[in-house]
Amino acid sequence: MNMIQAINSAMDVVMARDPDVIVMGEDVGYFGGVFRATAGLQAKYGKTRVFDTPITECGIIGVAVGMGAYGLRPVPEIQFADYIYPALDQLVSEAARLRYRSAGEFISPITVRSPFGGGIFGGQTHSQSPEGIFTHVSGIKTVIPATPYDAKGLLISAIEDNDPVLFFEPKRIYNGPFDGYWDKPAKNWSAHPAGEVPTGYYKIPLGKAAIARAGNDLTILAYGTMVHVAIATVEEAGVDAEVIDLRTLVPLDIETIEASVKKTGRCMVVHEATRTGGFGAELAALVQERCFYHLEAPVERVTGFDTPYPHSLEWAYFPGPVRIGQALKKIMKD
């Protein structure tokens, strides 16, 4: 399966098991979603469980919070993460806080799916990586898969989780892994082992990272598309890096990170999102606090620049093989 099929399969599997799971969002019903992630679900489960919504993100999330309070398990879709901002108040002030402010009387077991990240010439409003806005919010879990296998297992866990989960889907790798070379032919998931996805039910626990590439010289912390770009770059550079795919940003798998950095003595954080206040800053601070005496070089961050996501200059912006390669040289020299 590719990642879209895996995500579709996750919703299909959970909907078949739990009649309280409902899917809603712009164009997700009859049409099956602009990325086809919900294709076939309405025909299979009916219009009261899979339906199109008006174009109002604050409405989509607000309504989902109400449905969650009733006892349903809504899986709303925000068509692009760039368009999640109108729903920010409902996510930050309501979904994230409902359990806390009602001392557990009401909960918000919603899973907000949203395609995110760049690398597709999406320009300013089809490329953003806003995860850092949400990792800053207490009460929300943030999950970002990097493979079809993980996408399905993590999404099932997210939907069954009783806390609100933001599930960001890196749309650059919907159809295949991406090594950062935009000018080379695209690959698809059929050649990748993680494209092998069981059709049935399985879960990958939230809050557990995966070691995407084992190594000894350096630890690279990445998620989403950047996991693949990082692996391709270190292999090309001949650096024996350990690449950790975080998978869940909140709650973070600190044990895996700590063990790896203590082993390698070096740490690089790679994300597409802008640098200042990005999740990489949190990662760098945690590594510095916990692995200070093991570090042989400053923690390096390779990220998007502190600019809006450009259109024509995308490959200058994107933290691809060139930028990661230079950072590798620097951190290995220190």
CA torsion, ordered 317, 83, 34, 199, to nearest 10 deg: 90
Secondary structure element (H or E) that encloses residue 257, with its range = helix 254-264
- What part of residues 60-119 is at the interface with other proteins (CB under 8 A)? 62-72, 74, 86, 89-90, 93-94, 97-107
- What part of residues 180-209 is at the interface with other proteins (CB under 8 A)? 207
- Closest distance to other proteins from the beta carbon of 256 (Å): 12
Which residue, 60 or 229, is less far from other proteins as judged by CB?
60
Residue 140, number of CB atoms within 10 A of its CB = 21
Report d(CA 155, CA 23) in Å as an integer: 13
- Closest distance to other proteins from the beta carbon of 193 (Å): 30
- What part of residues 129-148 is at the interface with other proteins (CB under 8 A)? 138-139, 141
* Annotated catalytic residue, options 126, 136, 192, 311: 126
Among 38, 53, 79, 219, binds other proteins (CB under 8 A): 53
Is the dihedral angle over the CA atoms 30, 150, 218, 268 positive or is it negative? Answer: positive
Q: Both tokens of residue 329?
A: 């040289």
Which residue, 72 or 81, is less far from other proteins as judged by CB?
72
Q: CB-hemisphere CA count at 13 Å for 234?
A: 26
Q: Both tokens of residue 248?
A: 């869940």
Secondary structure element (H or E) that encloses residue 229, with its range = helix 225-237
Among 27, 59, 120, 202, binds other proteins (CB under 8 A): 59
Number of residues in contact with other proteins under rule CB under 8 A: 47
Single-letter amino acid code for the residue at 334: D
Which residue, 55 or 316, is less far from other proteins as judged by CB?
55
| 17: contact with other proteins by CB under 8 A | no
Single-letter amino acid code for the residue at 1: M
Among 17, 30, 124, 162, binds other proteins (CB under 8 A): 162
Which residue, 56 or 124, is less far from other proteins as judged by CB?
56
Cα separations in angstroms, 50 against 19, 69, 97, 105, 306: 11, 18, 26, 27, 38
- Identify the residue whose tokens are 């899979």: 50
Give the contact letters, 274-303, x = binds to other proteins (CB under 8 A), - = no: ------------------------------
Cβ atoms 75, 113 nearer than 8 A? yes
- Identify the residue whose tokens are 């600019």: 307
Backbone Cα Rg of the chain: 19
- Closest distance to other proteins from the beta carbon of 67 (Å): 4
Q: Both tokens of residue 241?
A: 């890096």
Residue 126 annotated to the active site = yes
Report d(CA 186, CA 190) in Å as an integer: 12
Give the contact letters, 254-273, x = binds to other proteins (CB under 8 A), - = no: x-------------------
Q: 25: helix, coil or strand?
A: strand
- Closest distance to other proteins from the beta carbon of 208 (Å): 12
Among 48, 184, 185, 191, binds other proteins (CB under 8 A): 48
Using CB under 8 A, list all residues that contact other proteins.
Answer: 22, 48-49, 53-54, 56, 58-59, 62-72, 74, 86, 89-90, 93-94, 97-107, 138-139, 141, 161-163, 207, 250-252, 254
Provide the annotated active-site residues.
Answer: 126
